[in-house]
Structure 1
């Protein structure tokens, strides 16, 4: 097993996400950092912090220069940050020392790396948002189509009372709608530039520092935080929490699908399945299992990022390094989970025959609660519960269906109709249709 299965040549089709993965390569990071350096020079040139002619040269050159990330490895291994090596390599490549001297003027490594990270997180979150919307749309259509399709509701792994498949689908989709709402709320807090200088004071830029930061934000399409966030990582931590929350919701979807495709239940058909090396009959629920695994992995990665939010003093290299090792994996795992969930949402199909068979099996004991409430109209509730509990025991002992025993004990009522699954769905169909309406009304990402 490779150290990072997310970009493994062998495991990339299982764990990897090519679209999001392109944002977290060495090349992507170098390009993003050079974009920040070029925008910083342009902002400083326009405000007279550095010569305007040098600013124009640097802005253009940072878009054109090619820096090999591998060439930065030795110095990065020594410095722990890659920006000193990048700045040195870029100055050398430009072959214009009179202009190159102004590259990275008054900034610090964390300014460049954090802002470059935010640029890539912006794109990654856009990918996640687009997949979320399409997934919710597909789930909404499924919920609408099966709002009144009865199935067994389960608690503690046991049959409880009837529900509808549409309501189950809504339970998968409603949290995803809330995650979309949370994403819109966190974006303004997260998508900000970092420009604070060595100890967060912007001292090297003098009085022009705040103006430079505001102009840098404008040029990059980000917000100006108005202060340093070198050691205040609440925005990053909030983003990590959001990613972990999405993964957890997808993990719930995965867990339910593993259960519903289980041998002996088989109430859901998956669009695809995995094979076994030795058992020809196996069609394993690989995609749902992957969602569960990614959700559990996200818990640990998120814990690392939350712990890394405890920064020491004005800058903390130790906490920052933990963030580097955890956040990209969390982003890519969540993106992969969303791609898997989207394929499932568009391809899963309920096996209504099996759902009905399960409901009709078990001697009809799934209707015990409904029977007790119907009887409670004629007798005190405790007596009704005791009577039904005794009847359930008799059903198990004699193999007689609950509705048949009820007809013998309390004749004159069509208990078969009263205890039909369709009569016991409660608010399940309404919840399914309400979710479907919300899903259909979602705005599409631009």
Structure 2
């Protein structure tokens, strides 16, 4: 297998990331770093730190010059960071040494690379937001079409009480709504510029480093954190945590879809499924299990990233390198998980007949809780629970419906007690609340 499936000619279709993968190419990183250098030069010229003519030349070159990533490899391996090689190549490409000497004035490598990363993460968040809205729109369609279908809720893999398919869909969708609602605040806090100089104290950034940082942030469309954050990785951690939340929500959905489509249940059908190499009858829930695998992968990467957040002193090479090894994979994993979720929810369909068959197959035992509370109206609750359990044992032993056994013992029990559709509690209301919220967010 390849080192990473996301750029594999064989596996990339199984772990699709849409446009997100392009944000983590060498070319995308170089272009983002050049844009940061151009914005820095403009902000410095506005403060009189470097000449206006030099800033104009640097900014123009940041948009026009092309730099070969391979040309940076040898020097990057020696320096442990790509910025020095980029700055040297950038200066050569400008072919104007009188202006190029002011490139990267007073900044440090991490300022440029962290700011450039934020430009790419901003785009990654926008793409994930679009996927979230698409999934919510598809889930809302499911609630409208099949939300009233009654099925057996399951806890610990066992039949619990009746619920509705709409409530199940809502349980998938609420975490996505929460993530979507959290996104504006995340952008405001975490998508921030970095400009603090060699030792995080802006010692070579001119007479007013704070104003310079704010101007540079404005030009890049990023937030001004108000301080340096070379060793404070909170912005990275917050973005990674948010992406992990979206992947975990997709993973939960994938687990439920895998179980609901398994042989012997078949309460849901997926729009497309995978074939076996040897068993012609198989239709494997490939997309669903991919969502689960991706969620686990993202969760593990996030744990590694959290551990790497402990930076020694003013900057820590090992911790920073760990970010490079984990963060891109985390972003791509979350993107792929929601890409699968978007595809599956568009083709997902409920099978109300299969759901009803499951309810009937329980012989009414799924209504035992409702029976115990009905009995509690005429006897103490502990006694009612014990009596309901005894009636369930009798129904199992006699292979007769619980309703028949219970009404033989208590003829005045209402027939509606044994109608699963009348025992779904707040499920219909929760489904409708989710439908309204999802429509509102999906647009």
Distance in 1, matches of 2:130 and 2:263, equals: 34
Q: Partner residue of 1:411?
A: 411
Q: Partner residue of 1:154?
A: 154
Query: In the alignment, is the contact (CA less than 8 A) between 1:373 and 1:381 conserved in 2?
Result: yes
> How far 1:333 moved relative to its partner?
0.8
Q: Partner residue of 1:361?
A: 361
Q: Partner residue of 2:305?
A: 305
Q: Partner residue of 2:276?
A: 276
> How far 1:405 moved relative to its partner?
0.7
Q: Partner residue of 1:65?
A: 65
Distance in 2, matches of 1:152 and 1:430, equals: 17
Distance in 2, matches of 1:275 and 1:163, equals: 32
Q: Partner residue of 1:436?
A: 435
Q: What TM-score does the superposition give when structure 1 sets the normalisation length?
A: 0.97
Alignment deviations for residues 373-410 of structure 1 (CA, whole Å, 9 cap, x no partner): 11211222222211111111111111111111112111
Q: Partner residue of 1:107?
A: 107
Of 205-214 and 147-156, more deviation after overlay is shown by 205-214
SS at match of 1:36: helix
SS at match of 1:13: coil
Distance in 2, matches of 1:25 and 1:201, equals: 31
Q: Partner residue of 1:261?
A: 261
Distance in 1, matches of 2:309 and 2:186, equals: 16
Runs of at least 4 residues off by over 3 Å: 144-147, 412-415
Taking only aligned residues, the RMSD between alpha carbons, in angstroms, comes to 1.1
> How far 1:17 moved relative to its partner?
1.3
Query: In the alignment, is the contact (CA less than 8 A) between 1:150 and 1:163 conserved in 2?
Result: yes
Distance in 2, matches of 1:95 and 1:232, equals: 37
SS at match of 1:162: strand
> How far 1:206 moved relative to its partner?
2.8
Distance in 1, matches of 2:118 and 2:64, equals: 21
> How far 1:443 moved relative to its partner?
6.3
Query: In the alignment, is the contact (CA less than 8 A) between 2:136 and 2:442 conserved in 1?
Result: no
Distance in 2, matches of 1:237 and 1:44, equals: 30
Alignment deviations for residues 302-360 of structure 1 (CA, whole Å, 9 cap, x no partner): 01111111111111111000011111111111111111111112210000000000001
SS at match of 2:160: strand
Distance in 1, matches of 2:273 and 2:108, equals: 50
Unpaired runs of at least 5, structure 1? none
SS at match of 2:358: helix
Q: Does 1:119 align with 2:119?
A: yes
Distance in 2, matches of 1:308 and 1:225, equals: 21
> How far 1:414 moved relative to its partner?
4.4
Distance in 1, matches of 2:239 and 2:105, equals: 30
Distance in 2, matches of 1:191 and 1:273, equals: 38
Q: Partner residue of 1:203?
A: 203
Alignment deviations for residues 87-123 of structure 1 (CA, whole Å, 9 cap, x no partner): 1111112221111111111001000000000000000
> How far 1:412 moved relative to its partner?
3.7
SS at match of 2:364: helix
Distance in 2, matches of 1:178 and 1:16, equals: 24
Of 198-207 and 151-160, more deviation after overlay is shown by 198-207
Q: Partner residue of 1:247?
A: 247
Count of residues in Structure 1 that have an aligned counterpart in Structure 2: 443
Distance in 2, matches of 1:239 and 1:374, equals: 50
Query: In the alignment, is the contact (CA less than 8 A) between 1:375 and 1:384 conserved in 2?
Result: yes
Distance in 2, matches of 1:79 and 1:382, equals: 73
Query: In the alignment, is the contact (CA less than 8 A) between 1:49 and 1:208 conserved in 2?
Result: no
Query: In the alignment, is the contact (CA less than 8 A) between 1:268 and 1:349 conserved in 2?
Result: yes
Distance in 1, matches of 2:342 and 2:205, equals: 48
Q: Partner residue of 2:168?
A: 168
Distance in 1, matches of 2:442 and 2:350, equals: 28
Query: In the alignment, is the contact (CA less than 8 A) between 2:162 and 2:424 conserved in 1?
Result: yes
Distance in 2, matches of 1:412 and 1:237, equals: 60
Distance in 2, matches of 1:73 and 1:135, equals: 40
SS at match of 1:344: helix
Distance in 1, matches of 2:144 and 2:87, equals: 56
Q: Partner residue of 2:296?
A: 296
Q: Partner residue of 1:328?
A: 328
SS at match of 1:153: strand
> How far 1:362 moved relative to its partner?
2.1
